[in-house]
Structure 1
């Protein structure tokens, strides 16, 4: 099934599958490792993790096991990770951080470098920095029907920066989501469109994202849902359907609580 998943050619020259597996962890121990093994055997080739998820050891063990069993080669996988958790923001200019990351590419330690939760102005500042060697290959941001981020997406596409959307279903089930948060998967418009194509709301949202040109990394440890999320390449949303979903945008950010404590920082990426 891996050959069904379209890829984005990054400005670094590598291909990133447009559908990946998110591994943010409020899960039981070893649950992520099992999900990664199941997902890879279903055809997933893009795994998204981070130091703060505390899932990297499980993921590494699962990948190593599949490689040893001859079921996958490391070069077939696109694995994304991020820096260690920042409990206190620093005043380090992210341009200095970018220069340090460029050295990682020169040393062959990573193939592609990117950013996360950057706004248009911050991306533009990197693109205009003196002595830029490598443009950001990707910007990972929250992107859902309730947070379409059309301007940011179009700016990135225009400048050859790919986008990965996280929390595309509104992060249901996460412990930080308020009980009164809007339920994206139950939105009447999305449910209606799903019935039209005989697809679930999750499948409609994933297909909508891919047709808009960005990658998605939905999280699941349920084998049925993992397979269902992969089953989105046998239909195509009409232009009218796509516009109808974009029109649901209400600027709702499910992860705002993560960043509000830093809203007075000069590099805060969202509206204050």
Structure 2
């Protein structure tokens, strides 16, 4: 099965979690990843206990006895699971193994789609979500979580894209359309550069190569990216545009209808 093969490639075992000690391991793993403030914890132990007890999704990826990834989600309206938070040790395929297990679990439960939010400025997450999984952003959510006091997001507005993963559909990655208008790209010093006024059917909205590093090295440019992304991608989606792909250069492909 796909989820078992993905776990084997990553060298992990993925399973649902049930015990207090397991939830405490997840709490510590998330703390190591995000270094959150005391009022900004991704998922408390008590929340995970409640979710698992009421038939929601709490799963962990283990390399031997070591927890190296985890995902917490809850059932939502319309035969969906909302994946609240997922974190994993980077660079080993553990994130994909978790998502493959999540997909299998949802289909076993009769669920049809998974939703989650992600930062539109984080290029690697956008590529993973849109290209690797085949999810599609369906809504731009300005400052969705308010102030987030953690080592990754601190100092930036919490704009998010709502990703929707239709589990019964297989979406091939979209090639870059011809004659698309590039509306946002990265300048020579990491700053956003914008172009307006083109009436093309498709827009290409670029992303910074590494927004997390940019926040540390050039906070002004990082904030400028947030404004530019909100106005270009957020504006296009609010006007009826649909994100249909993500290019190898790190650009959202937006179809203007």
Instruction: Give yes or no for TM over 0.5.
Output: no
Structure 1 or 2: larger strand share?
A: 2
Q: What TM-score do the two structures reach when normalised by structure 2?
A: 0.29
TM-score by length of 1: 0.27
